[in-house]
Amino acid sequence: MTPQDSIKIAPATLDEVADIAPLFDMYRAFYGQQPALQAAVDFITKRLVNFESVIFLARENSVAVGFTQLYPTFSSVSMEPVWILNDLFVLPDHRRKGIARYLMRAAAEHARHDNARRLVLSTAHTNTVAQALYESEGWQLDECFRTYVMPLTDPKA
């Protein structure tokens, strides 16, 4: 499946921070965070300036409607790169058009191009809609490892 002519997926640039930040702020709100648009601008800018993440931006008819953000890491066991698909968001009015799927495929292509060992993500146990999408794209539920978290700051963050 390729994006429709009206939908374009491309790596984001610093010039697009003003388009990404409101989407990022809405993504955070989905997870119960208070709106913080300027903090979102600052966060996204810092990630891009320092080459700490890769963001793919989805546009429909030139309007920013979704994004995914990837963070690099490594596997010590395989001694190869690994990418974390940390954020995936599409505006509610633009869902069910394949945009999240296109973003995930762009992320996978980026990881393959980097010769990464794997692409990983986490989602809430209750996010069954997203889980169905991931599984339809060939993602596999990890049944070998259990994830633990040690909160070091506000547990709502």
CATH numbers and ranges of domains, the chain = 7-136 (3.40.630.30)
Q: For 74-127, what is each residue's pLDDT tens digit?
A: 999 999 999 999 999 999 999 999 999 999 999 999 999 999 999 999 998 998
Q: Is the pLDDT of residue 1 over 60?
A: no
Q: What is the percent of the chain where pLDDT is above 90?
A: 85
**What pLDDT is recorded for position 5?**
80
Q: Is the pLDDT of residue 2 over 60?
A: no
CA pair distance 132, 141, nearest whole angstrom = 11
CB 86 within 8 A of CB 123: no
Q: Is the pLDDT of residue 27 over 60?
A: yes
Lowest model confidence (mean pLDDT) among 3-7, 55-59, 134-138, 142-146: 3-7
**What pLDDT is recorded for position 156?**
64
